[in-house]
Amino acid sequence: MTLTSIAQSSSNFQSQESTVYEYALTVANTDDNDTQELTAAFTSIPNAQDWQQWLNGWVNCGYSLQSTPQLVRAI
């Protein structure tokens, strides 16, 4: 799964100044046999760089993205 495809799938939504976009996603660390279901929130529609920065800490801890982030709601 690429960050570019994540950003492209998110671009269908119109950005509004006061909107928060909430996404559900799953990361896993196969070395530790650990899976985490996460929520990511952005104040604008995230692009590939936004996702890379958001996931950076998880990747540094040995986790990888297991599911395409799904938009849960825009509030």
What's the pLDDT tens digit per position in 7-66?
Answer: 655 555 555 468 999 999 999 999 999 999 999 999 999 999 999 999 999 999 999 999
Question: Is there a contact between 3 and 51 (Cβ–Cβ < 8 Å)?
Answer: yes
Give me the residue label for tokens 């604008």: 44
For the cut 70, the answer to whether the pLDDT of residue 3 exceeds it is no
Q: How far apart are CA 8 and CA 5, in angstroms?
A: 5
Residue 34: how many other CB atoms lie within 10 Å: 12
- The token duo for 63 is 């986790």
What pLDDT does residue 18 have?
Answer: 85
Angle between helices 3-10 and 48-60 (to 10 degrees): 130
Question: Is there a contact between 67 and 46 (Cβ–Cβ < 8 Å)?
Answer: no
Q: List pLDDT tens digits, range 45-59.
A: 999 999 999 999 999
